């Protein structure tokens, strides 16, 4: 069906887990079944024709590759963690971006993967096990409950924040809005839900920025809504700048940027459901080395 995320028109993406396999071997192996190309934006991401079905492929079953959409695969790359850093993945399950971080860090350094939901912690642990990464520590609990002043976070240099969102960037959700059953009651429910999500998203982003040694924070959603994207960024900008952060430009060559509703929207990255076949949003904050810069 074209109404679900498995639309036959949507290219398939496979992320090579470079902890277990090199990209050229994956291209060769998957190329026996389908036409495979390297993605032009994300290293280690392979693009295959719409309809390619790899769920049962041995390279997916054994964790040498993971099925992951392009927007999702861009987030850890935008963060650019160095191999020996300590990094927090704040809302981690099922762990796709956690293992992207592990691969980018070449299995070195340390990743603290925080997840609130007990069932989803199990999925996170399964993903980590399948990936073969050994530098990930799972923290079962509320990210907002982590104390930034706790000495155990003193060396954390980067945070990836991919909080719960409406998921409105997926095709299914978008088309739901066109169905007759989408009544005024539903719309009211949607707006209350979006508001609640945005309240958490803002709190979580402000919390991420408050870890003392953190110099890079990436915020992402698979939502198309301004309230979960630009508005969240806009609300934390005063705090961010008082802490010495500014917006940086992830993937500068990417054409589609944030909605022009705040100063600096050109730094933000959007994927468009029509153009890119999925809706996605990424914002990157980086700390300028001297606080005086922001005061001068
Ligand atoms: N980053 C994940 C990935 O790429 O596989 C997807 C994350 S999903 C969009 C958001 C996750 O945040 C959910 O698993 C949810 O249970 C978790 N979550 C929600 N509130 C949280 C909180 N306060 N602290 C930690 N995790 C939370």
- DSSP line for 121-140: HHHHHHHHHHHT--SEEEEE
Q: Which of 116-120, 155-159, 174-178 has the lowest mean pLDDT?
A: 174-178
Task: Work out the angle at residue 285's Cα, subtended by the Cα atoms of residues 96 and 271, and round it to the nearest 5 degrees.
Answer: 55
Q: What are 264's two structure tokens?
A: 């600096």
Q: Which residues are annotated as a binding site for S-adenosyl-L-methionine?
A: 91-97, 115, 142, 162
pLDDT for res 288: 81
Q: Is 165 a catalytic residue?
A: no
> Domains in the chain, start-ordered, CATH in brackets?
12-67 (3.30.70.1170), 71-295 (3.40.50.150)
Among 42, 222, 247, 268, the active-site one is 222
Structural contact between residues 267 and 249, judged by C-beta atoms closer than 8 angstroms: yes
- Residue 68 and residue 98: Cα distance in Å, rounded? 12
Q: What are 281's two structure tokens?
A: 């949003």
- Residue 252 and residue 181: Cα distance in Å, rounded? 41
pLDDT tens, 2-32? 344 455 588 999 999 999 999 999 999 999 9
CA of 46 to the centre of ligand 1 (A): 25
Nearest CA to 116 among 29, 204, 38? 204
Average pLDDT on 60-83 reads: 98
Asked if the interface predicted TM-score (ipTM) of this complex is over 0.95, the answer is: yes
pLDDT for res 7: 57
Sequence-ordered list of residues with C-beta below 8 angstroms from that of 145, at least 6 positions apart, any chain: none
Q: Which of 151-165, 168-182, 243-257 has the lowest mean pLDDT?
A: 168-182
CA of 207 to the centre of ligand 1 (A): 15
Instruction: Give the mutation target among 70, 93, 103 for probing the ligand 1 site: most ligand atoms within 8 A of CB.
Output: 93
Which pLDDT band, with edges at 50, 70 and 90, does 81 fall under? Answer: very high
Instruction: Give the mutation target among 66, 95, 99, 116 for probing the ligand 1 site: most ligand atoms within 8 A of CB.
Output: 116
């Amino acid at each position: 069906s074209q109404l679900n995320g498995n639309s036959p028109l949507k290219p398939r993406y496979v992320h090579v887990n470079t902890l277990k396999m090199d990209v050229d071997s994956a291209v060769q192996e998957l190329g026996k079944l389908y036409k495979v190309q390297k993605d032009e934006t994300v290293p280690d991401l392979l693009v295959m024709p719409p309809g390619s079905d790899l769920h049962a492929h041995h390279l997916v079953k054994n964790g040498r590759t993971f099925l992951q959409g392009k927007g999702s695969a861009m987030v850890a790359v935008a963060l650019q963690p160095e191999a020996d850093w300590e990094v927090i993945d704040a809302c981690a399950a099922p762990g796709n971006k956690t293992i992207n971080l592990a691969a980018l860090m070449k299995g070195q350094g340390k990743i603290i993967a925080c997840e609130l939901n007990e069932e989803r912690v199990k999925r996170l642990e399964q993903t980590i096990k399948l990936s073969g990464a050994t530098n990930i520590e799972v923290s079962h609990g509320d990210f907002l409950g982590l104390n930034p002043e706790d000495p155990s976070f003193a060396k954390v240099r980067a945070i990836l924040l991919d909080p719960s969102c409406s998921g409105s960037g997926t095709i299914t959700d978008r088309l739901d809005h066109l169905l007759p059953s989408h009544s005024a009651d539903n719309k009211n429910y949607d707006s209350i839900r979006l508001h609640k999500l945005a309240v958490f998203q803002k709190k979580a982003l402000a919390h991420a920025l408050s870890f003392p040694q953190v110099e890079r924070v990436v915020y992402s959603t698979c939502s198309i809504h301004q309230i979960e994207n630009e508005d969240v960024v806009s609300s934390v900008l005063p705090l961010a700048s008082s802490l010495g952060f500014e917006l940086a430009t992830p993937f500068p060559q990417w054409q589609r940027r944030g909605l022009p509703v705040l100063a600096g929207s050109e730094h933000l990255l959007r994927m468009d459901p029509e153009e890119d076949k999925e809706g996605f949003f990424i914002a990157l904050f980086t700390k300028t080395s001297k606080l005086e810069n922001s005061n001068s």
